[in-house]
């Protein structure tokens, strides 16, 4: 059998070899003070220890659970039937969630972007592991939806979203709490800024899984305006996917047509993970 050494595989072997060598040297120095043991016997044991550990280091470094996932294996796993099925289900779920915002409000879904990436695991880390050495592949997906809206009816749009979020079985997580109620009143011209006097215009509803932002219509701060999505670069399906629908769509065009833009960011971290121990995790 031919053993192919990679940089990732060699690093842990070298580190372990240095540790074993240091321990062996220390043991050898200590053994010199024990005069009751024959020197030849101590030398034989020391050499036997090295002969035992060196092959062990090579086997450990070459183990599939300790090496980094190769690009070919990443592509194979990302294109497997299991990954493809989960990917399609997750994208369908996120698209349905984005569509649900148009069912109970006056928002018009004008553009959708999809970012999908599968990443291979790193080689086994002896110290300070970040967890990326435990899996062979980890895939995550994010969808961003852009809506057009009438800037004169932001309060009505927000009120409709909060009302929809209070319906049983809804996919929208936002409710009429005190802050959000005051936000609706602010946009309807019936109350002060809920952030406080002199505060910036509130332009966000946030949840761990969803973030809804929109163009400011009161103070028109450019830094709060919804930005254009990043261009699709280096797309290489099934490892990396980047989709924009329509392909020629822009935030500027949506703003020009409808008056303002709402942006919904949806993420699904780790929708498909294959661990080095053979287990698979899906959302």
Between CA 106 and CA 150 the distance in angstroms is: 8
Which pLDDT value is given to residue 129?
Answer: 62
Which pLDDT value is given to residue 270?
Answer: 86
> What is the DSSP secondary structure assignment for residue 123, as one 8-state letter?
P
Work out whether strand 204-206 and strand 210-214 pair parallel, antiparallel, or are unpaired: antiparallel
Q: How many structural domains are present in the chain?
A: 2
Least confident of 33-47, 64-78, 131-145, 165-179: 33-47
Given a cut of 70, whether residue 135 has pLDDT beyond it is: yes
Range of the domain at 188: 71-282
Q: Which residue has the tokens 């291979």?
A: 120
The per-residue pLDDT of the chain, averaged, comes to: 82
- The pTM of this model reads 0.76
Which pLDDT value is given to residue 32?
Answer: 52
Same domain, 110 and 190: yes
- Between 245 and 65, the higher pLDDT residue: 245
Q: Which of 45, 62, 79 lies at the terminal end of a domain, its last residue?
A: 62
Same domain, 164 and 190: yes
Same domain, 75 and 210: yes
Range among 18-32, 63-77, 102-116 rated most confident: 102-116
Same domain, 30 and 135: no
> What is the DSSP secondary structure assignment for residue 266, as one 8-state letter?
E
Residue 42 lies in a domain: yes
Tens digit of pLDDT for each residue in 36-69?
Answer: 444 554 554 455 454 444 444 444 444 556 788 8
Residue 2 lies in a domain: no
Given a cut of 70, whether residue 141 has pLDDT beyond it is: yes
Same domain, 97 and 232: yes
Same domain, 117 and 213: yes
Same domain, 200 and 116: yes
Q: Concatenate the DSSP letters of all residues of 203-238 into one string.
A: -EEE-SSEEEEE--SSS--GGGSPPPPPP--S-BTT
Same domain, 90 and 229: yes
Same domain, 23 and 111: no
Query: What is the Rg, in whole angstroms, of the alpha carbon atoms belonging to the chain?
Result: 29
- Tell me the H-state helices in the chain: 7-31, 39-62, 71-78, 81-103, 154-164, 178-187, 251-258
Residue 87 lies in a domain: yes
Work out whether strand 280-282 and strand 204-206 pair parallel, antiparallel, or are unpaired: unpaired
Residue 1 lies in a domain: no
- Between 199 and 133, the higher pLDDT residue: 199
Q: Which of 40, 62, 84 lies at the terminal end of a domain, its last residue?
A: 62
Same domain, 35 and 148: no
Given a cut of 50, whether residue 102 has pLDDT beyond it is: yes
> What is the DSSP secondary structure assignment for residue 42, as one 8-state letter?
H
Average pLDDT over residues 184-191: 96
Between CA 53 and CA 51 the distance in angstroms is: 6
Same domain, 18 and 75: no
Which pLDDT value is given to residue 283?
Answer: 78
Same domain, 50 and 178: no
């Amino acid at each position: 059998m031919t053993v192919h050494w990679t940089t990732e595989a060699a690093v842990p072997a070298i580190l372990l070899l240095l540790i074993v060598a240091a321990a062996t040297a220390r043991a050898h120095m200590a053994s010199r003070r024990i005069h009751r043991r024959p020197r030849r016997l101590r030398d034989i044991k020391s050499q036997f220890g090295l002969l035992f550990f060196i092959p062990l280091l090579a086997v450990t470094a070459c183990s599939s659970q300790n090496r980094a996932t190769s690009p070919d294996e990443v592509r194979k796993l990302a294109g497997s039937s299991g990954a493809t099925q989960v990917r399609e289900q997750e994208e369908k779920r996120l698209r349905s969630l984005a569509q649900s915002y148009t069912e109970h409000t006056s928002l018009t879904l004008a553009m959708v972007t999809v970012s999908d990436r599968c990443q291979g695991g790193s080689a086994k880390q002896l110290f300070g592991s970040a967890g990326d050495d435990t899996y062979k592949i980890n895939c995550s997906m994010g969808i961003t939806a852009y809506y057009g809206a009438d800037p004169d009816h932001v309060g009505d749009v927000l009120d409709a979203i909060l009302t929809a979020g209070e319906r049983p079985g809804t996919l929208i997580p936002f409710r009429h709490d005190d802050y959000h109620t005051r936000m609706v009143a602010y946009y309807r011209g019936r109350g002060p800024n809920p952030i406080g006097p002199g505060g910036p215009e509130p332009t966000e509803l946030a949840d761990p899984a969803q973030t809804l932002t929109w163009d400011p219509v009161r103070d028109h701060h450019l830094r709060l305006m919804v930005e254009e999505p990043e261009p699709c670069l280096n797309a290489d399906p099934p490892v990396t996917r980047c989709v924009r629908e329509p392909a020629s769509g822009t935030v500027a065009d949506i703003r020009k047509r409808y008056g303002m833009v709402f942006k919904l960011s949806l993420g699904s971290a780790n929708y498909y993970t294959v661990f080095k121990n053979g287990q698979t995790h899906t959302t």
